[in-house]
A and B are shown apart, each in its own frame.
Chain A
Amino acid sequence: MAITNIKNLKEFSTANERFEGAHLLCPGCAHSMIVRELMNATDDNLVIASNTGCLEVSTAVYPYTSWDTSWIHIGFENAATAASCAESMYKARKRKGTLPDPDAPVKFVAFGGDGSTYDIGFQWLSGAMERGHDFTYICLDNENYANTGGQRSSSTPIGAHTSTAQAGSESYGKTQRKKDMVAIMAAHGAPYVAQLSPNKWKIMAKGFQKALETEGPCFINTVSPCTTEWKFDPKDTIHLADLATDTLMFPVYEIINGTELNILYRPKNVIPVEEYLAAQGRYKHLFKPENKHVIERIQKDIDAKWEYLQRREEARV
């Protein structure tokens, strides 16, 4: 495993990019920031599978590809399937001695959106984790089906307006809470599971390196602020990620072997969640007096989750 020096940002910036411009993601999209932080963290050969979603359709608009690595485009459910099967074939060919360059370091990576990870590709992902392939699955979690116009997913948080869970006189947006995918993946007994955020580039790059180094199936949920569906100015993507980690709406942590939980980032000053919500158009309606209870509920949930994570970290179980 060859990893890039990420001691500081200057060292990191000497990495030779393998993700090219003139893809069609929106200006300020966090998907590509996350992809760059991953790909620049290693110089191993990568075999990447992406399923349908903003990242896939925007980086492979025929006749173009934005990928300087092996990259497989596959249907909406199947990023985990494609990556895990490529890994199996690689192992089989290695065993049979039919690889042209058997000693070249290769890592297998899958990218999926939250729609595909939390909902539509859920059973395929679960299967690949259970089979124990040596690959890393990365969810680009923008909490909605962005590529098809912002429908709700099981990752959409309570209170958010989406095109299929609309806020109005009868509703405050989505009424159900976000699914805890990190816990579900840890419950598969995966050797490495984490939730990371692009504003914390070093923790992110380190987490990716750990996942690639770890043998077996790894899962990383990454926060991907979406300027179009969260409704904020494209220049503010990193500001939004800062608010996400510092309000603890998205705590940054890892779970090793399903039990050993480590908090990777503790905000010096925890910010009240109002600030995060107020920065996005999708939560605008929550500031009406009749919806105040939803904000209180969100804050309560955040506090409880943080307490839970800290206790788990302490207990080492």
Chain B
Amino acid sequence: MSRGVLATEKRGVRELGAEEKVGWDAVPQGVVLNSFDNILKENVSHVKPEDRDYSDFNSYTATVASWRVIKPVYNRDICIDCQNCWVWCPDTSIISRDKQMLGIDYDHCKGCGVCVEVCPTNPKSLLMFGEAQELEDALAMWPEKKKKAK
């Protein structure tokens, strides 16, 4: 797995609101924001995000990480790649490639906790921790398998 998939050069590089402000009167009427720098020749659904030429107008280049107070941590050892977390994440922040869950996009995750709720493994393969928690320490304190209540 290349680092390029989990964190690309263009992703989440700007804090929302920190970009240069342009007044309404400086914007031409009927302005079009292009999502990509070069009009893609190929249909964008056939290009993986890491291979796209995202423009500065694309919110992909911005981050909302500062919204989070808690964050999901992913434990690969237990994961069954069911993709529940992928389909229901409201912030396109579960990174899956070739039917495998690879990890979390911490630039766009808002810490809602939906992915943890829909994870079916026992113990869960995703758990919420405080934003400041080191990932390694979180993994070290992962709970044991829970016995089913009779």
Stretch at the interface among B1-9, B40-48, B135-143: B40-48
Judging by beta carbons under 8 Å apart, are B57 and A63 in contact? Answer: yes
Q: Does B75 contact A (CB under 8 A)?
A: no
Asked if residues B58 and A27 are in contact (CB atoms below 8 Å), the reply is: no
Find the A residue at minimum CB distance from B115: A235
Q: Which of B44, B56, B64 has the most CB of A within 10 A?
A: B44
Q: Chain B's nearest CB lies how many Å from the CB of A136?
A: 17
A238–B43 touching, CB < 8 Å: no
Q: Say yes or no for A239: interface residue by CB 8 A criterion.
A: yes
A18 at the interface (CB under 8 A from B): yes
Q: Is the interface of A mostly helix, strand, loop or mixed?
A: loop
A interface footprint on B98-123 (CB within 8 Å = 1, 0 otherwise): 11000001011111111011100000
Of A7-15, A90-98, A212-220, A252-260, which binds chain B? A7-15
B78 at the interface (CB under 8 A from A): no
Q: How far is the CA of A12 from the CA of B22 in the complex (A)?
A: 40
State the CA gap A277–B100 with chains docked (Å): 37
Residues of B in contact with A, size category = 35 or more
What is the total of A-B residue contacts with beta carbons within 8 Å?
151
- A23's closest neighbor in chain B, by CB? B59
* Most-contacted residue by chain B among A14, A18, A63, A239 (CB, 10 A): A63
Contact: A9 with B59, CB < 8 Å?
Answer: no
Closest A residue to B60 by beta carbon equals A20
Nearest residue (CB) in A for B81 is A10
For A12, what are the chain B residues with a Cβ–Cβ distance below 8 Å?
83, 87
| Chain B contacts for A30, CB-based, 8 A | 90
Tell me the bound Cα distance from A43 to B46 in angstroms: 8
Of B22, B52, B86, the contact of A13 (CB 8 Å cutoff) = B86
User: Is B99 a contact of A14 with CB atoms below 8 Å?
Assistant: yes
Identify which of residues 166-191 in chain A touch chain B, using a CB-to-CB cut-off of 8 Å: none
Q: Does B91 contact A (CB under 8 A)?
A: yes
Interface string of B21-46 (1 = CB under 8 A from A): 01000010000010110000001111
Surface stretch bound by B, among A65-73, A148-156, A293-301: A65-73
Contact residues, A10-56 vs B (CB, 8 A): 10-25, 27-33, 36-37, 42-45
A234 interfacial by beta-carbon distance below 8 Å: yes
Q: Would A21 and B59 count as touching, CB distance under 8 A?
A: yes
Q: Is B73 an interface residue (CB 8 A)?
A: no
Q: Look across to chain B and name the residue whose beta carbon is closest to the beta carbon of A29.
A: B90
- Chain A positions within 8 Å of B92 at CB level: 17, 19-21, 32, 36
B52 nearest in chain A by CB position:
A68
From A21, A62, A235, contact of B117 by CB (8 A):
A235
CA distance in complex: A233, B92 (Å): 19
B residues less than 8 Å from A234 (CB atoms): 112-114
Q: Is the CB of A27 within 8 A of B44?
A: no
Q: Does A124 contact B (CB under 8 A)?
A: no
CA distance A44 to B60 in the complex (A): 21
CB pair A9–B83 under 8 Å, yes or no, is yes
CB contacts (< 8 Å) of A25 on chain B: these are 90
A235 touches B60 (CB 8 A): no
Pair A63/B110 contact, Cβ less than 8 Å: no
- Cβ-defined partner of B116 (8 Å) among A10, A11, A235: A235
Task: Check if A201 is an interface residue, CB within 8 A of chain B.
Answer: yes
Name the CB-closest residue of B to A8: B83
Return the 5 tightest CB-CB contacts between A and B, nearest first.
Answer: A21-B108, A235-B113, A43-B45, A27-B112, A28-B112
20 sampled A-B residue pairs with Cβ under 8 A: A9-B87, A13-B86, A14-B96, A14-B97, A15-B45, A16-B47, A17-B92, A18-B45, A20-B58, A21-B92, A22-B12, A22-B63, A23-B91, A27-B67, A43-B46, A67-B35, A68-B44, A68-B52, A198-B88, A234-B113
Further contacts, 18 of them, CB under 8 A, given A22-B64, A64-B59, A68-B58:
A10-B83, A16-B44, A18-B45, A21-B91, A28-B90, A31-B90, A32-B90, A32-B91, A33-B89, A37-B87, A62-B33, A63-B56, A64-B57, A64-B62, A66-B60, A198-B88, A234-B113, A237-B112
